Each structure stands twice: as structure tokens, then as C-alpha cells.
Structure 1
Amino acid sequence: MKRCIAVGTLALTVATLAQAQTGSTPAFGTYQKPFAADSLWNSYPVNPVLGTYQIPPTSTNWDPVIDAGIYSSGVFEAKESDAPMLIYPHPNRAGVMDTDAEVELATYTIPHWPASTVPASGGDGHADIVDAKLNRLYSFSNLVKNSEGKWIATRVSWTPLTGTGWGTPSHHYQGGRAAGPAPAGGLIRKGEVDDGKPLYEHALSMSLDFSGLSAAPNHYVYPATAADSTIATRPNTGQIPEGALMMLPPNFDLSKITDPKLLKVARTLMKYGAYVVDRNDNTPFAIYVEIGAPWSAMPRPQLRLIHQALRRVVSHSGHIAGNGVARVPETNVNILSLRGDWLRIQGVGPSGVFDTFTQSLRWTAPTTSYTMIQRNYSNRGLGRTTWAAPKAGQRYKFSVEATGGVKMNMSIQVGSTVQKATKFLGNGESEIIVWPDKATAFYEAQKPPGGVASVKASLVELPPGQ
């Protein structure tokens, strides 16, 4: 990454933070402003308490960057009239990785492909496509057009446009960033840079170098649902996990930030902060700006002031959502995914397949003769997010939603011994279980003969006394 050079100056004061916001504000869950009002991206913390650890300098002693460089992303708006596009795998790859289903596909179909799509030219090759009609934001890794004119990528993810903008324990990879979100989350957008507002009305996104990031197993925290993998020759040596919120203290001296664009960022870091979503190489921190934004390099001495003052938020009293009301944290969070191989034990007709967009096992054609039985032994549906893995001795509610008469059960085993098997549950039925220590689970779905059908299951931790 490049160092930054100084640009023009303009003196502004901290009083601007209290000024009324100007200009029109786009609706939440749209191309201009992704995700729900109560998404953490669109919320700010109340009474944040900052830690003492400072982001260290890197071995190269480079300065931080805030830019729309080759490791950032563009965000492109799909229209209903846009034609579909097939995404092909890179050479020597078995397929395009669907990061939720965890399967490599021969091709991945994007229903509406904007002709203006241009991926970042850096090694990550990020690009995000917003399809409001489908309520999806697609995110790509290593996207590029090959010599044959075909689009190729290593991974494709998706997240609900009106959702949280972060992964969940059941759908843990929802974007191209290592921590689980899409690059659009926290991105300084082209239309925001010169909108006349004193700050960005959302949290920002940033990456840290190996020297600032903490090592596994403490390498990510909520709301991150994943993190960069460990590199043996270049381990993380810092104290900040991915998913951490970084902020400037309330007494930060804004009068020393005279560059207008940097001042707007600094104000945002004082109110909303920036979430750590990725790892970079040799830059203390990088804050991402949408590719194509009217942006220029920031003055290095002023960037260093921000570098010296940024701290991790270690506690707070809650959040105020983007609509101005107190954010209510989500409860009854499902930690179970039905991804994985569903082995057919018996049945005639097409097998059911996991569908990422409905998070269900689906049979899209009729089955005949007798009940189709499929089992999932993959052990890929639980524990992908460490902070949401089932805990020994805790009570959980296993629930089923189904169509077409499908029933499902869950069997819990320790070693090779099944310690608990639920009843076969139909639509709207549930059962409470106590999770054993060192347990894994497998699942069986039973579909009677007939037409299309589906089954969806959830596993939710119960609060004490419930």
C-alpha cells in the first residue's frame, strides 16, 4: 500500500459534530444506504469505553491510509432489466466457491449483472453488486474477466440488503471481507464524500497489519463471524481481533485536523468508529473508500495523529440505531445451518439440496414410490463461528419449519455413541435438548412421496429459566 501525501487544508472545529445533518438521507436497505437501520454499520455506540492498546507501527514504518485503492471495492446497482451472468472458476480450481453452502460450483449464476461492474485491480479482486429486487448484495473475491471474455472468481457470497450487513452463526460468510461482511459494509461511498454533511452517517471499515491483529483463538469477536487464517511465517502479534470497533476518544483535538476530507473521517471515528474487517500487509490501518470516489491522499502528519489516538471499544451502554431509536440486540439467534452433503438413504426421484437463499433443504421436483430419507453427517452446520458454538450443559430449542409433509430429527453423539435423538418433527414443532460436552450432531430428513417440498431447522440457545 502507498504512503499518503498532504493535500489542501480547511480549519473546522469539534462543534460541527453537534450540527444538524444536512442534505437528503437515502432509505435504509437500499443501494445508496445498505442494511437495516439497526445494523451495527448504521448505529453508533452509547458511552463507549476505550482500551489503552495502541495500534503499533509496522516493520516498514509506513503510514496509515484512507483511500479508494486497489484493495477497496466498487458497489454496482443491478436493475431488473440487466441480463444474468455466469461466473466461472479460475484456472486450476474445481469450481466457484459458494461461501455459505461451502461447495464449489461449475458456474455461479448472478440473475442481474450490471454492465458497469468493474472489480478492484488488487489481489483481492473485490466487487459488490446490489440487487434490490431480490434483496441481495452479492460479493466477489478475485473477480476478473479472462481472455475469453468470461467473468471468473474464486468465491461468491451474498447478504440480505435489508439485513444486518454481518454474518450470522448459521450463515457466517456473507461477504468478501475476512471477518464475514461484504466490502460495502462501512465503505465510504462515492455519493457521500461531498454531500455537505459533517460526518459519515455509518461506521467505517478498516484493516490492520499482522502487527496489530490478535492471534487465534482470539482472532475475532462479535459481530465478526470469521477471520483471516493464520500464516505460520507471518503470525498476528497484536491485541486487536477482527470485529473490534475502533474509535477516537471524545477529547481528540479536531482543530489539528485541517484537511476537510480527513476531518469528516475523524468526526465519524469519534461518533461511529470503524470495524476491523480484514488484514493488510505493512499498513498500520487502512480505511476503505469506494473505488471511483472523488478522493485524494491524506496529509501524513494528520493521519499519524489519528493513528496515535485510535483505541478499541472495550464496553458501551448500547447503540442508537440509524433511525434515532435505541437498538435492541437480536435474541433467539439461530446457530444451525443445513449446509453439507445430504446422503440419500432411500427414495426415488431427485434428492433434496441445500439452498442458501432460503437456508433450507429443498426438493424441486416430485419424488415417488416411498418416503425419501436423506442424512447429513458432515458436521458443517454448527460451530463455524466460535463464539456461537453449542456449549456443554446449555439448553437449546430445536425447531422445524417444513412444507410437503417433510419431517426432520437431530441426533447428538459423543464419539461414536448417540446420546440424544429428537423426535421426527414436522412443521411448527420443536424439542428442547441439553447439549452434551464434546458433542457433534447429524440430521435426518424424511420426505413423503409427492411434489416439491422443503425443510428448515433452527437451534436456539434458551435463556436461564426458559
Structure 2
Amino acid sequence: MPKAFVPLLVGALVVSLATPVLGDTEWHSVGRGMVSGVSGAALIRHSATEVVTLVVRDNKKPGQNRAAVVTFREGAEPVVEPLTWQGAEPADLEAVDAVPGSPAASPARDVYAWPFAWDSVWNLPLATTAEYQAFDPRFQWLYLDKEDISVDPGFPVKTVRQNDTGERNRVHTDPKLEADGSWNHCATLLMDTPDKKTVLQGQPMTLTKGGDPSWNYSWKPLSLTGQGIEGCHGGSGLSGIGGTIRGGELVGPQPIRHALKLGMNCGLSCSKANNGFRWPAYKADKGWQDRYHGTNPHVNMGSLMALPPDYDLSWITRPDVRKIAETLKTYGAYIVDATGGKSTNSLAMDQKYAHEFPNIDSAEMRTVLHSLAVITNSGQATPGGGSLTTPRRAECAPAFADGTGGAPPNCGASVR
């Protein structure tokens, strides 16, 4: 059966890229047979690692696909996501282009790079009604809590061994990823499911490059398009991918568009109040009754920490520190784990990109985190310090490529 192909340079998809994703004369299969043929294409977005396009197909019969999102990534086969046409299906669909200034021209969200629904705790900016209470965690040093993330559907499929349940599952595993089984190595791997949008989490992971992963503690499968709260942080039961600093976020031109994750020196800072945890956390550390010695009842596993809106950032000279500080003013950070001692705090980051955060333990970064406040009115009904209709400190998350998962048009719109 003949294959359908699309080149990088075709019709409306004319992209000038200094990127290794594709050569400028390569053709790539996007399906088999005449019904997979491409009649037009438009660029959704591009970066140094991927090109995402909308393609249309001039099919005539009811039920035949009319449009799809095609994602090209370096070293991987294109990922094709057919879209469901809303309303009467067109019979003569020969071209497509973005209309400048229209909502349809807004960049779609990549479910793998920016997962979860718009109202997930990880994606909601702080509410303008958030109430701040100063809190100094009294740490001395900072480090990166390095997480293992492999959610590219183009990665090879391996079998993960879940030692606690005895289960085996097929997962897409980055061939360059490795983990030595030490704590925490909180891992999130994309399952080889038909939807390609379900992840499995566990810790601590053991993996040699190109091998099959394993871990000792497992969590249930989680959709990348849902709320994304639960996961492999043992201290809180919170997500191993939500809130993680991902590759390119600290060095790219765009702001970080999600909350962060904070490891806290609970021996000094975490309170026994509320049984040691609050929403969105599911639990506190084992032995919290003896381990937590903080005196502020608002500081627990799951607490939301942030820089006050009037906090001055002008003194910060290091770009990575400045970006973290901006994110802490706009989204904040959730406490997800206890650190290894009273003298340390941590921020969670994809381990493959740790080199992009050289100043994690700089004097500037320590000063920023010593300036955090706890949001005292963040809860299930008031996430980020306000109801979902409350103005936010940034625009809310847009829709995914298939049109789902996006915020209402007025979410955050009145924020200045």
C-alpha cells in the first residue's frame, strides 16, 4: 500500500530553522494510503527539538480524516494525531493557514512538554487574592532533586519491572536515560498505550542506557490531559512530572508556565498540623510525627510557597535565578518532599537538563528562596489563593493541539 509523505518545506509550511530536527529536503511518512495524503499544512510552533504542524486532507467521504497534528522530533518518526472535525465535514479541503491575530492562531500546547488540564494545580497562576505570610525555611544549601522523565512517543519501547506489584508494563524509554536506583530518582515514563497520553510513575528507578527500567514503588497510570496531581514523590504523593523544570525552560526565551516543586528541610520547617499535609498532597512522610518540627501550621506537605507580588527582582544578575524568581512570583512552588537534612532545600528538575541550572546553590538563589512566603488561603476550592473565576497573575494555559484542555477565554485576562 502506498505511503503518504510530507516534507519540512511544503506549501504554507515554510520554516527557516537553525535546528537539527529535520533536514530541509527530507520527506517523512505521515500515514498509509490515499486517505492519509496531505493537501495543505501550516506551522503551529517550532523549537530546537521539534516542529509541530497542522495538516489537512482533501478526503471526500464521511468519517475519513480531514485534519491532523503532526509532530517531528529529532531522531524519531513523526507522531500523527488525527483531529475530530466539529460540524459538517468539508468536501474540498485543499489548504490551511493561520489567521494572524485570531484565537486559532494562538500556539497550541504540547501535551508532552506542557501537560495537564488548564485548572491543574501545576498550571494555574497565583490568584490576585492570594494571601501571603512571610516564612523563612532557614536552610543553608540548595540542590537539584533530579527527576527521570521520558514521555516522547518516538522513544523505543521497553518493559518496566515494578518490583512492589510484580507487574510489567511497556513504556517509551529515552535511550540516553540512566538511573542508579538511589533516592529519589522519581521517574515518569510514557506508557505504550493507544492514546500515547498515559504515564506510569515509580521510584527509585534503576536503568542502564538502552535497557529496561525497574523501580521499587509504583503509582497508578496517570493521564497527561487530566489533573495530574498524584505521583511518585514519596513525601507527599505528588506528581513526578507536574511542576518539574523541563529542558529548555531556563535557557529559552519564554517564561516558565507552571508551578515548581520544592523539597523542604522538614526537620526545621514542616509542621505537624493537619497530620503533616494539606491539599493537594495525599500524605506526609512516614514518621512525620517525629520528623517534623516546624512551628508554622500553614507549612506542610502540599503547601504553596511564593514570592510576594511586590518582591523586587532588579538585583538578580544570573539569568537562571531570575527566571526561577519570576516563576515563584507568578505560579509559586508546592512542597512535595522532605530533603535529606535540616540544612538543605531543593528544586525539582529533569536530570537530563541539570546543566541548564548552574546557579542552583548560588547566593542569589538562596536569597530568593529565603524570601518565600506561604500562601495561607490556597485550598481545593481556592487553588493558588482564589476560586477558578478569580483573576490570575498570568494568562491561563491554552488548549492542546486537539482543542481540549484549555482555559476559558477570560481566565487571567484581567490581570495586570
TM-score (norm 2): 0.59
Cross-structure match for 2:328 = 269
Cross-structure match for 1:224 = 281
DSSP-derived class of the 2:320 partner: helix
| Cα pair 2:178 2:207 within 8 Å, conserved | no
Deviation at 1:185, TM superposition (A): 1.0
Q: What whole-Å deviation, never above 9, does each CA across 1:143-196 have from its counterpart, x for those lacking one?
A: 1148xx7643111223211111113xxxxxx33443222221111101212221
DSSP-derived class of the 1:287 partner: strand
Cross-structure match for 1:32 = 113
**What amino acid is the match of 2:179?**
P
Structure 1 segment 131-280 matched on structure 2, within 5 A: 131=191, 133-145=195-207, 151-157=213-219, 158-167=221-230, 174-197=231-254, 199-210=255-266, 211-215=268-272, 217-231=274-288, 234-239=291-296, 240-280=299-339
DSSP-derived class of the 2:291 partner: coil
Cross-structure match for 2:126 = 45
**What amino acid is the match of 2:281?**
A
Distance 2:185 2:376 in 1: 33
Change (3 A) 1:141 1:236: farther
| Cα pair 1:159 1:175 within 8 Å, conserved | no
Distance 1:185 1:81 in 2: 20
Distance 1:79 1:52 in 2: 43
| Cα pair 1:242 1:277 within 8 Å, conserved | yes
Q: What whole-Å deviation, never above 9, does each CA across 1:357-405 have from its counterpart, x for those lacking one?
A: xxxxxxxxxxxxxxxxxxxxxxxxxxxxxxxxxxxxxxxxxxxxxxxxx
Cross-structure match for 1:124 = 184
Change (3 A) 1:85 1:213: same
Task: Tell which structure's C-alpha radius of gyration is larger.
Answer: 1
Distance 1:118 1:80 in 2: 18
**What amino acid is the match of 1:317?**
G
Deviation at 1:23, TM superposition (A): 8.3
Cross-structure match for 2:347 = 287
Deviation at 1:123, TM superposition (A): 1.8
Question: RMSD of the TM alignment (CA)?
Answer: 3.0
Q: What whole-Å deviation, never above 9, does each CA across 1:268-318 have from its counterpart, x for those lacking one?
A: 100111111111123453111211212213463322321332011112333
Distance 2:369 2:181 in 1: 27
Change (3 A) 1:200 1:238: farther
**What amino acid is the match of 1:57?**
R
**What amino acid is the match of 1:265?**
I
Change (3 A) 1:83 1:308: closer
Of 387, 396, 400, 1:318 maps to 387
Change (3 A) 1:151 1:81: closer
Distance 1:201 1:285 in 2: 22
Distance 2:234 2:122 in 1: 14
Count the aligned residue pairs: 277
Deviation at 1:233, TM superposition (A): 5.4
Deviation at 1:253, TM superposition (A): 1.4
Distance 2:242 2:347 in 1: 12
Deviation at 1:44, TM superposition (A): 0.8
List gaps (5 residues or longer) in structure 2: 1-44, 48-105, 378-384, 399-406
| Cα pair 1:124 1:141 within 8 Å, conserved | yes
**What amino acid is the match of 1:110?**
R
Distance 1:269 1:235 in 2: 24
| Cα pair 1:88 1:150 within 8 Å, conserved | no
Distance 2:207 2:344 in 1: 32
**What amino acid is the match of 1:208?**
M
Taking every aligned residue pair, what percent have the same amino acid on both sides?
A: 22
TM-score (norm 1): 0.53
Structure 1 segment 11-30 matched on structure 2, within 5 A: 27-28=108-109, 30=111
Distance 2:172 2:362 in 1: 41
Distance 1:295 1:120 in 2: 22
1:79 aligns with 2:153: yes
Distance 1:285 1:186 in 2: 16
Change (3 A) 1:161 1:141: same
Distance 1:306 1:243 in 2: 20
**What amino acid is the match of 2:201?**
S
Change (3 A) 1:109 1:249: same
